[in-house]
A and B are shown apart, each in its own frame.
Chain A
Amino acid sequence: MDWTFVLTQTLTQAIGIQAIIYCLAAIGLNVQFGYTGLLNFGQVAFVAAGSYAVGVIVLTFDLSLWLAIVVGIVVALVIALILGIPTLRLRADYLAIVTIAFSELVRLTVRSIAFKDVLGGAQGLNGKLGQDFHDTNPLPADFQSLPVLSWTRQDLWVVIVGWIVVALFTLLVWLLVRSPWGRIVRGIREDEAAVVSLGKNVFAYKLQALMLGGVIGAFGGIVWAVAKQSVQPDTFRPEFTFFAYTILLLGGAARVFGPIVGAILFWIILAGTGEFLGQAIQAGWIDFLQPTDVGNIRFVLMGSGLIALMVFRPQGIFGDRRELALDAK
């Protein structure tokens, strides 16, 4: 049993590229759900928008990655408007239904044979998607690996910039939620009608929150496309959104650092149990499982962990129990 391997692998993944992608999606959800109370179950559509903007602009149209980022932001804003305008005037549950349907609609559309020339169909878009970004890599060309953390030179550059992006969005969210703007959206989460009765245009604030959360999610997609140099339609399944919610609840909704702590924890649990079980099976400690079972078992453990969290610490790691104990209405 190679404990060093288990630990280094776990740590590498805990603060790795996947953690960054999910963290960004969860920061977006935190703005929408945590602070504003909008049940967006289609966050993955925004992530897909970011990824596909990179894929289509860079690969299909052979244009610059920097333009692709701008396009990704614009597409996310447009999606938020399309989803928000018809549904945000209705009760909260309508948004949940529409967004989850929309995210599947997006996935089935981008993988369809009809748009294969532009969007790549079921194979997605594969190629030098992030070249413009990787060209800016300042790390020495003969870089091998950090001690402990096993990233390539290319991945390390993505990880560094990725966490900077996370930090910037966290700062933005922190600034917003402590402002009068944040007070209004928290008020909307508590009781829309009360906020309306005080002369605030609730619809406009909900739309702003949906748009901001969507753009942050799209950045998750951009990081994904740049890091993996590939965009796969079937990675944008509804599970992605549910994992992002898991991360948000793990860290604590409506907490500025909730998504960061949640994302790291999520990957510690997922990678840690995966690596441990893999090693334990290899070493013969566990004989009732096959190595192929590991992938599923770790989600069972994650689910159990989430249930335990909801029972014993429903406010998440960072949440305020006092706040949660109150009758929400």
Chain B
Amino acid sequence: MPNDQAVSNSMAASAHAALSTVEPRPGVPKPDPIMVADHVRRSFGGLTAVNVEHVEIQRGAITALIGPNGAGKTTFFNLITGFDDANEGTWTFNGRQVAGTAPYKLARIGMVRTFQLTKALSRMTVIDNMRLGAKHQTGERFFAAILPFLWNSQEKSVGERAMGLLERFNLHEKVEDFAGSLSGGQRKLLEMARALMADPELIMLDEPMAGVNPALKQSLLGHIKTMREEGTTVLFVEHDMDMVHDISDWVIVMAQGEVIAEGPPDTVMKDQAVIDAYLGAHHEAQLTETGESLTESSDGDSA
């Protein structure tokens, strides 16, 4: 089973160990947080989309951010990555105050995100999409750009790294194809691989499984686990409970803009507050059903 596999891996084991002593309640402090957010609020007119009192993201772990539609997950993502401006609140990344920092600067210091609606750069080749992700490129400066001898060798090494990642993500046969000609799932893979080109310390995936077929889902799960093994902290927004249960070390539940529960996946999914708020009262029966079928479907997929 994928779960046992994950636990046997070193980074997964240490993430589990670090989080095992953490009490499962909203806003709980973590032993080694990479990100700490305080009093983050965003309202659109009269609607308060996000109102997070305190939340910490554990370094080196895979953290899932779940919640019903309109819970403010993506808005919260946009706020902490600088793509949207918070009405109030502060948050730190690696101990550094980053509230109000431009999104491109956040990406440079290691907080790289993907998007719910995949943003493959359609009319550029797959390899160019990848190369774009690499940081500190000399040839990206205007005057250096017109003198190819200044950046040729760097371009080559960036290309080699890109090829390595494309092979890992099984896109190496599409190198010279336009990104727009890829299938939806391949675009998801490309976006993930491209984000890795930027050497993230914290990779933030907004619904990585949306619209992806089951076979590809398994490979995406594998890629996300590999990211953790390489020391990248993963925070992802997801609806797919299978996936959340399967790979996350810690789950944060949002509803109506607030963090209502936190904890290891098993604990959170049994939490009555989560069941009520996340799935609604009349869905209660279905949740237990889904919960039971989790193991079955995992078995089926890995068989």
Chain A residues with CB under 8 Å of chain B are 172, 175-176, 179-184, 186-187, 189-191, 193-202, 208, 322-323, 326-329
Contacts and interface: CB of A to CB of B under 8 A. Distances in A.
Interface residues of B, number: 42
Q: Which 4 A-B pairs have the closest CB atoms?
A: A326-B180, A199-B107, A181-B145, A180-B139
B142 A208 contact: yes
B270 to A, nearest CB: 35
Interface string B123-152: 110001001110101111110011010010
Contacts of B191: 194
A199 B104 contact: yes
Given A187-B124, A198-B194, A181 B180 contact: no
A199 B139 contact: no
30 contacts: A172-B146, A175-B148, A176-B146, A180-B137, A180-B151, A183-B128, A183-B131, A184-B132, A186-B121, A186-B128, A187-B121, A190-B124, A193-B83, A194-B119, A194-B120, A194-B191, A195-B121, A197-B83, A197-B107, A197-B195, A198-B132, A198-B133, A200-B132, A208-B142, A322-B178, A323-B123, A323-B178, A326-B123, A326-B178, A328-B122
A172 B133 CA distance: 24
Nearest to B181: A326
B123 A196 contact: no
Contacts of A208: 142
A187 B114 CA distance: 15
B256 interface: no
Nearest to A191: B119
B151 A179 contact: yes
Nearest to B204: A197
A179 B178 contact: no
Contact of A179 (B135, B145, B195): B145
Interface in B256-282: none
Contact of A199 (B83, B112, B115, B180): B112
A200 B180 CA distance: 21
Nearest to A182: B145
A180 B104 contact: no
Interface-central residue, B107, B121, B137, B191, by most chain A CB under 10 Å: B121
Contacts of A197: 81, 83, 103, 107, 112-115, 119, 195
A328 B155 CA distance: 26
A183 B103 contact: no
B146 A175 contact: yes
A245 to B, nearest CB: 19
Contacts of A183: 124, 128, 131-132, 140
B283 interface: no
